[in-house]
Amino acid sequence: MYLRDIMIEDLKKIEIEARAEITLLTEAAHFEEAKIKYLGRKGLLAAVSAQMSQVPSDKKREAGQELNRVKNAIESLFSDKQKTLGTFSAHAYKKIDASMPGTFYSPGTLHPLTQVIDEVIGIFRHLGFDLVEGPEAETEYYNFEALNIPLNHPARDSFDTFYLDSGRLLRSQTSPVQVRVMEKTKPPLKIIAPGKVYRPDATDATHSFMFHQIEGLMVDEGVSFAHLKGVLFAFAQEFFGKGTKLRFRPHFFPFTEPSAEIDIWSEARNSWLEVLGAGMVHPQVLKSVKIDSEKYTGFAFGMGVERLAMLKYGVEDIRHFFENDLRFLRQF
Protein backbone atom coordinates (compact mmCIF):
# COMPACT_ATOMS: atom_id res chain seq x y z
CA MET A 1 0.00 0.00 0.00
CA TYR A 2 1.21 3.47 -0.83
CA LEU A 3 1.77 5.87 1.98
CA ARG A 4 -0.83 8.12 0.37
CA ASP A 5 -3.42 5.36 0.77
CA ILE A 6 -2.40 4.74 4.36
CA MET A 7 -2.79 8.46 5.06
CA ILE A 8 -6.24 8.57 3.53
CA GLU A 9 -7.28 5.47 5.51
CA ASP A 10 -6.02 7.09 8.71
CA LEU A 11 -7.83 10.32 7.98
CA LYS A 12 -11.10 8.42 7.48
CA LYS A 13 -10.69 6.63 10.80
CA ILE A 14 -9.84 9.88 12.56
CA GLU A 15 -12.89 11.56 11.09
CA ILE A 16 -15.25 8.76 12.19
CA GLU A 17 -13.77 8.64 15.67
CA ALA A 18 -13.90 12.41 16.05
CA ARG A 19 -17.53 12.56 14.95
CA ALA A 20 -18.54 9.95 17.54
CA GLU A 21 -16.51 11.50 20.34
CA ILE A 22 -17.71 15.04 19.71
CA THR A 23 -21.34 13.94 19.51
CA LEU A 24 -21.08 12.31 22.92
CA LEU A 25 -19.46 15.32 24.58
CA THR A 26 -21.72 16.67 27.34
CA GLU A 27 -19.33 18.59 29.52
CA ALA A 28 -17.33 21.66 28.76
CA ALA A 29 -14.40 20.20 30.75
CA HIS A 30 -13.92 17.41 28.21
CA PHE A 31 -14.33 19.71 25.25
CA GLU A 32 -10.84 21.25 25.34
CA GLU A 33 -9.26 17.86 25.96
CA ALA A 34 -10.89 16.42 22.85
CA LYS A 35 -10.05 19.44 20.75
CA ILE A 36 -6.37 19.09 21.65
CA LYS A 37 -6.46 15.39 20.88
CA TYR A 38 -7.56 15.99 17.31
CA LEU A 39 -6.51 19.49 16.38
CA GLY A 40 -3.66 20.20 18.82
CA ARG A 41 -0.04 20.84 17.86
CA LYS A 42 0.75 17.22 18.73
CA GLY A 43 -2.71 15.95 17.88
CA LEU A 44 -3.84 13.19 15.53
CA LEU A 45 -4.18 15.41 12.49
CA ALA A 46 -0.75 16.94 13.08
CA ALA A 47 0.73 13.44 13.13
CA VAL A 48 -0.84 12.61 9.76
CA SER A 49 0.27 15.91 8.37
CA ALA A 50 3.86 15.19 9.43
CA GLN A 51 3.92 12.24 7.04
CA MET A 52 3.13 14.53 4.14
CA SER A 53 6.77 15.12 3.29
CA GLN A 54 7.14 11.44 2.51
CA VAL A 55 4.23 11.25 0.06
CA PRO A 56 5.43 11.19 -3.56
CA SER A 57 5.03 14.59 -5.17
CA ASP A 58 2.43 13.52 -7.75
CA LYS A 59 0.13 12.28 -4.93
CA LYS A 60 0.71 15.20 -2.54
CA ARG A 61 -2.14 17.23 -3.95
CA GLU A 62 -4.78 14.53 -3.36
CA ALA A 63 -3.54 13.70 0.14
CA GLY A 64 -3.35 17.39 1.04
CA GLN A 65 -6.90 17.98 -0.11
CA GLU A 66 -8.18 15.09 2.01
CA LEU A 67 -6.25 16.33 5.03
CA ASN A 68 -7.82 19.77 4.68
CA ARG A 69 -11.29 18.38 4.20
CA VAL A 70 -11.08 16.28 7.39
CA LYS A 71 -9.54 19.14 9.35
CA ASN A 72 -12.32 21.52 8.31
CA ALA A 73 -14.97 18.92 9.09
CA ILE A 74 -13.61 18.32 12.59
CA GLU A 75 -13.25 22.04 13.27
CA SER A 76 -16.84 22.70 12.38
CA LEU A 77 -18.00 19.77 14.54
CA PHE A 78 -16.19 21.38 17.46
CA SER A 79 -17.59 24.81 16.83
CA ASP A 80 -21.17 23.46 16.58
CA LYS A 81 -20.66 21.55 19.80
CA GLN A 82 -19.36 24.62 21.55
CA LYS A 83 -22.66 26.38 20.85
CA THR A 84 -24.83 23.59 22.27
CA LEU A 85 -22.55 23.10 25.27
CA GLY A 86 -22.96 26.81 25.90
CA THR A 87 -26.74 26.47 26.10
CA PHE A 88 -26.43 23.37 28.25
CA SER A 89 -24.37 25.14 30.85
CA ALA A 90 -26.65 28.18 30.67
CA HIS A 91 -29.45 25.84 31.77
CA ALA A 92 -27.26 24.29 34.46
CA TYR A 93 -27.27 21.10 32.46
CA LYS A 94 -26.16 18.10 34.44
CA LYS A 95 -25.18 14.76 33.14
CA ILE A 96 -28.20 12.46 33.28
CA ASP A 97 -28.13 10.03 36.17
CA ALA A 98 -30.12 7.07 34.83
CA SER A 99 -30.21 5.45 38.28
CA MET A 100 -32.22 8.32 39.76
CA PRO A 101 -35.93 7.68 40.40
CA GLY A 102 -38.10 9.38 37.77
CA THR A 103 -40.33 12.39 38.32
CA PHE A 104 -43.83 11.28 39.29
CA TYR A 105 -46.69 13.15 37.68
CA SER A 106 -49.89 12.27 39.48
CA PRO A 107 -52.74 11.60 37.06
CA GLY A 108 -55.58 14.12 37.15
CA THR A 109 -59.16 13.23 37.98
CA LEU A 110 -62.45 14.28 36.47
CA HIS A 111 -64.00 17.34 38.07
CA PRO A 112 -66.56 16.37 40.75
CA LEU A 113 -69.38 17.95 38.71
CA THR A 114 -68.33 15.92 35.66
CA GLN A 115 -68.35 12.81 37.83
CA VAL A 116 -71.85 13.59 39.09
CA ILE A 117 -73.13 14.31 35.57
CA ASP A 118 -71.65 11.02 34.32
CA GLU A 119 -73.21 9.09 37.17
CA VAL A 120 -76.65 10.65 36.61
CA ILE A 121 -76.42 9.96 32.87
CA GLY A 122 -75.51 6.35 33.65
CA ILE A 123 -78.55 5.88 35.88
CA PHE A 124 -80.96 7.35 33.34
CA ARG A 125 -79.46 5.37 30.48
CA HIS A 126 -80.28 2.24 32.44
CA LEU A 127 -83.85 3.52 32.62
CA GLY A 128 -83.84 3.83 28.83
CA PHE A 129 -83.28 7.57 28.39
CA ASP A 130 -81.22 8.83 25.45
CA LEU A 131 -78.54 11.49 25.88
CA VAL A 132 -78.89 14.75 23.93
CA GLU A 133 -77.33 18.20 24.06
CA GLY A 134 -78.48 21.69 23.10
CA PRO A 135 -76.71 25.03 22.59
CA GLU A 136 -75.72 27.32 25.47
CA ALA A 137 -76.14 30.39 23.26
CA GLU A 138 -79.86 29.96 22.74
CA THR A 139 -82.56 31.94 21.00
CA GLU A 140 -85.27 33.86 22.80
CA TYR A 141 -87.83 31.54 21.19
CA TYR A 142 -86.47 28.31 22.71
CA ASN A 143 -85.56 29.73 26.13
CA PHE A 144 -88.93 31.49 26.62
CA GLU A 145 -91.56 31.62 23.89
CA ALA A 146 -91.81 27.92 23.04
CA LEU A 147 -91.82 27.13 26.76
CA ASN A 148 -94.99 29.16 27.22
CA ILE A 149 -93.23 32.18 28.75
CA PRO A 150 -94.42 35.16 26.68
CA LEU A 151 -92.49 38.43 26.76
CA ASN A 152 -94.95 40.19 29.07
CA HIS A 153 -95.30 37.29 31.52
CA PRO A 154 -93.87 37.85 35.01
CA ALA A 155 -92.36 34.33 34.95
CA ARG A 156 -89.65 35.77 32.67
CA ASP A 157 -88.08 37.34 35.73
CA SER A 158 -87.20 34.04 37.38
CA PHE A 159 -85.51 32.87 34.18
CA ASP A 160 -83.81 36.14 33.32
CA THR A 161 -80.41 35.81 31.71
CA PHE A 162 -77.50 37.42 29.84
CA TYR A 163 -78.14 38.74 26.35
CA LEU A 164 -75.54 38.51 23.59
CA ASP A 165 -74.88 41.09 20.87
CA SER A 166 -75.83 38.49 18.27
CA GLY A 167 -79.44 38.61 19.50
CA ARG A 168 -79.02 35.28 21.21
CA LEU A 169 -78.96 34.78 24.96
CA LEU A 170 -77.24 32.43 27.38
CA ARG A 171 -79.89 29.83 28.22
CA SER A 172 -81.14 30.16 31.78
CA GLN A 173 -82.37 26.56 31.90
CA THR A 174 -81.88 23.32 29.97
CA SER A 175 -85.63 23.17 29.21
CA PRO A 176 -85.15 24.63 25.68
CA VAL A 177 -83.63 21.25 24.78
CA GLN A 178 -87.09 19.69 25.36
CA VAL A 179 -88.48 21.84 22.57
CA ARG A 180 -85.56 21.21 20.23
CA VAL A 181 -85.93 17.45 20.69
CA MET A 182 -89.72 17.39 20.28
CA GLU A 183 -89.48 19.45 17.08
CA LYS A 184 -87.30 16.76 15.51
CA THR A 185 -88.42 13.54 17.21
CA LYS A 186 -91.96 12.36 17.55
CA PRO A 187 -93.09 10.35 20.59
CA PRO A 188 -92.46 7.95 22.16
CA LEU A 189 -89.33 9.66 23.44
CA LYS A 190 -87.21 9.60 26.59
CA ILE A 191 -84.21 11.89 26.81
CA ILE A 192 -81.90 13.56 29.28
CA ALA A 193 -79.89 16.69 28.46
CA PRO A 194 -77.09 17.89 30.72
CA GLY A 195 -75.40 21.28 30.37
CA LYS A 196 -74.49 24.73 31.65
CA VAL A 197 -77.09 27.39 32.37
CA TYR A 198 -76.71 31.07 33.28
CA ARG A 199 -78.55 33.53 35.50
CA PRO A 200 -77.66 37.08 36.57
CA ASP A 201 -77.49 35.99 40.24
CA ALA A 202 -75.11 37.51 42.75
CA THR A 203 -72.63 34.83 43.81
CA ASP A 204 -72.91 33.42 47.34
CA ALA A 205 -72.68 30.03 49.06
CA THR A 206 -75.67 28.64 47.16
CA HIS A 207 -75.83 30.79 44.02
CA SER A 208 -73.63 31.12 40.97
CA PHE A 209 -74.17 33.01 37.71
CA MET A 210 -73.36 29.76 35.93
CA PHE A 211 -74.34 26.29 37.04
CA HIS A 212 -75.32 22.92 35.59
CA GLN A 213 -78.65 21.27 35.06
CA ILE A 214 -79.80 17.92 33.77
CA GLU A 215 -83.08 18.04 31.93
CA GLY A 216 -85.28 14.98 31.55
CA LEU A 217 -88.26 14.45 29.26
CA MET A 218 -90.55 11.53 28.55
CA VAL A 219 -93.46 11.74 26.12
CA ASP A 220 -95.71 8.89 25.08
CA GLU A 221 -99.31 7.79 25.18
CA GLY A 222 -100.58 7.45 28.74
CA VAL A 223 -97.59 8.96 30.58
CA SER A 224 -98.77 10.15 34.00
CA PHE A 225 -97.50 11.89 37.10
CA ALA A 226 -97.09 8.43 38.64
CA HIS A 227 -94.40 7.67 36.04
CA LEU A 228 -92.60 10.88 36.95
CA LYS A 229 -92.66 9.92 40.62
CA GLY A 230 -91.51 6.39 39.86
CA VAL A 231 -88.57 7.52 37.72
CA LEU A 232 -87.39 10.18 40.18
CA PHE A 233 -87.76 7.80 43.11
CA ALA A 234 -85.72 5.12 41.32
CA PHE A 235 -83.09 7.72 40.47
CA ALA A 236 -82.80 9.00 44.05
CA GLN A 237 -82.43 5.46 45.50
CA GLU A 238 -79.65 4.76 43.03
CA PHE A 239 -77.83 8.08 43.33
CA PHE A 240 -78.17 8.82 47.06
CA GLY A 241 -78.71 5.28 48.35
CA LYS A 242 -81.58 3.03 49.38
CA GLY A 243 -84.13 4.62 51.70
CA THR A 244 -83.60 8.18 50.38
CA LYS A 245 -86.72 10.25 51.04
CA LEU A 246 -88.32 12.57 48.48
CA ARG A 247 -90.85 15.34 48.97
CA PHE A 248 -93.02 16.77 46.19
CA ARG A 249 -94.14 20.38 46.80
CA PRO A 250 -96.70 22.05 44.50
CA HIS A 251 -95.05 24.76 42.44
CA PHE A 252 -95.50 26.82 39.29
CA PHE A 253 -93.63 26.52 36.00
CA PRO A 254 -95.13 27.98 32.83
CA PHE A 255 -94.15 24.90 30.80
CA THR A 256 -95.54 22.19 33.09
CA GLU A 257 -98.96 21.64 34.61
CA PRO A 258 -99.21 20.48 37.31
CA SER A 259 -95.73 21.39 38.55
CA ALA A 260 -93.71 20.47 41.60
CA GLU A 261 -90.45 21.18 43.28
CA ILE A 262 -88.79 18.12 44.70
CA ASP A 263 -86.73 18.06 47.87
CA ILE A 264 -84.39 15.38 49.14
CA TRP A 265 -84.03 14.73 52.84
CA SER A 266 -80.54 15.44 54.09
CA GLU A 267 -79.54 13.55 57.27
CA ALA A 268 -76.40 15.69 57.56
CA ARG A 269 -78.32 18.97 57.50
CA ASN A 270 -81.42 17.52 59.16
CA SER A 271 -83.50 19.35 56.56
CA TRP A 272 -85.06 19.08 53.11
CA LEU A 273 -83.03 20.42 50.20
CA GLU A 274 -84.58 21.39 46.88
CA VAL A 275 -82.84 19.61 44.03
CA LEU A 276 -85.22 19.69 41.11
CA GLY A 277 -88.24 21.14 39.38
CA ALA A 278 -90.65 18.93 37.45
CA GLY A 279 -94.14 18.48 36.14
CA MET A 280 -96.37 17.29 33.32
CA VAL A 281 -95.49 18.90 29.98
CA HIS A 282 -97.94 21.79 29.40
CA PRO A 283 -100.35 21.22 26.44
CA GLN A 284 -99.27 24.63 25.12
CA VAL A 285 -95.66 23.39 24.82
CA LEU A 286 -96.80 20.26 22.98
CA LYS A 287 -98.83 22.48 20.68
CA SER A 288 -95.80 24.63 19.82
CA VAL A 289 -94.01 21.49 18.57
CA LYS A 290 -97.14 20.13 16.85
CA ILE A 291 -97.59 17.11 19.08
CA ASP A 292 -101.23 16.17 19.66
CA SER A 293 -101.82 16.80 23.38
CA GLU A 294 -105.07 14.79 23.24
CA LYS A 295 -103.10 11.72 22.30
CA TYR A 296 -99.77 12.22 24.05
CA THR A 297 -98.75 13.30 27.51
CA GLY A 298 -95.34 13.67 29.06
CA PHE A 299 -93.37 14.63 32.11
CA ALA A 300 -90.27 16.79 32.37
CA PHE A 301 -87.80 17.59 35.11
CA GLY A 302 -84.70 19.71 35.56
CA MET A 303 -82.20 19.02 38.31
CA GLY A 304 -79.42 21.19 39.64
CA VAL A 305 -76.13 19.32 39.36
CA GLU A 306 -74.30 21.43 41.98
CA ARG A 307 -77.15 20.81 44.43
CA LEU A 308 -76.91 17.05 43.84
CA ALA A 309 -73.14 17.15 44.36
CA MET A 310 -73.39 19.31 47.49
CA LEU A 311 -75.92 16.95 49.00
CA LYS A 312 -74.07 13.78 48.07
CA TYR A 313 -70.62 14.93 49.20
CA GLY A 314 -71.56 17.37 51.95
CA VAL A 315 -70.07 20.40 50.20
CA GLU A 316 -71.09 23.57 52.01
CA ASP A 317 -70.32 26.23 49.41
CA ILE A 318 -71.06 26.12 45.67
CA ARG A 319 -68.02 28.32 44.97
CA HIS A 320 -65.68 25.44 45.81
CA PHE A 321 -66.65 23.84 42.51
CA PHE A 322 -65.36 26.76 40.47
CA GLU A 323 -62.25 27.89 42.31
CA ASN A 324 -59.97 25.10 41.02
CA ASP A 325 -58.35 24.63 44.41
CA LEU A 326 -56.53 21.28 44.17
CA ARG A 327 -56.97 20.62 47.89
CA PHE A 328 -60.71 20.52 47.22
CA LEU A 329 -60.59 18.72 43.86
CA ARG A 330 -58.22 15.97 45.01
CA GLN A 331 -60.86 14.70 47.44
CA PHE A 332 -62.93 13.32 44.59
Which residues of the shown chain bind ligand PHE in the complex (CB under 6 A)? Answer: 173, 175, 253, 256, 259, 277-279, 300-302
Query: C-beta of 215: minimal distance to ligand PHE in Å?
Result: 6
Query: C-beta of 168: minimal distance to ligand PHE in Å?
Result: 18
User: Please, which residue, 34 or 298, has the CB nearer to ligand PHE?
Assistant: 298
User: Please, which residue, 15 or 215, has the CB nearer to ligand PHE?
Assistant: 215
- Side chain identity at residue 202, one-letter code: A
User: Please, which residue, 8 or 276, has the CB nearer to ligand PHE?
Assistant: 276
Count Cβ atoms below 10 Å from residue 66 Cβ, excluding itself.
Answer: 18
d(Cα 86, Cα 16) in Å, to the nearest integer?
A: 24
d(Cα 171, Cα 138) in Å, to the nearest integer?
A: 5
User: Please, which residue, 170 or 300, has the CB nearer to ligand PHE?
Assistant: 300
The three-state secondary structure class of 244 is coil
d(Cα 143, Cα 173) in Å, to the nearest integer?
A: 7
User: Please, which residue, 70 or 228, has the CB nearer to ligand PHE?
Assistant: 228
User: Please, which residue, 74 or 300, has the CB nearer to ligand PHE?
Assistant: 300
User: Please, which residue, 160 or 317, has the CB nearer to ligand PHE?
Assistant: 160
Could you tell me where the beta strands, DSSP code E, fall in the chain?
Answer: 130-131, 137-138, 169-170, 189-198, 210-220, 246-253, 256-266, 271-281, 297-304
d(Cα 126, Cα 208) in Å, to the nearest integer?
A: 31
Query: C-beta of 236: minimal distance to ligand PHE in Å?
Result: 16
Helix axes 305-313, 225-240, angle to 10 degrees: 40
User: Please, which residue, 78 or 239, has the CB nearer to ligand PHE?
Assistant: 239
Query: C-beta of 279: minimal distance to ligand PHE in Å?
Result: 5
Residue from 21, 41, 45 nearest 31 by CA:
21
d(Cα 111, Cα 42) in Å, to the nearest integer?
A: 68
Residue from 241, 271, 175 nearest 233 by CA:
241
User: Please, which residue, 161 or 173, has the CB nearer to ligand PHE?
Assistant: 173
Query: C-beta of 223: minimal distance to ligand PHE in Å?
Result: 14
**Residue in the shown chain whose Cβ atom is closest to ligand PHE:** 302
d(Cα 219, Cα 191) in Å, to the nearest integer?
A: 9
Query: C-beta of 199: minimal distance to ligand PHE in Å?
Result: 9
Query: C-beta of 169: minimal distance to ligand PHE in Å?
Result: 14
d(Cα 32, Cα 52) in Å, to the nearest integer?
A: 26
Query: C-beta of 164: minimal distance to ligand PHE in Å?
Result: 20
Query: C-beta of 134: minimal distance to ligand PHE in Å?
Result: 12
Phi, psi of 152, rounded to the nearest 5 degrees:
-90, 5
The phi-psi region of residue 44 (left if phi > 0; otherwise alpha if psi is between -120 and 50; otherwise beta) is alpha
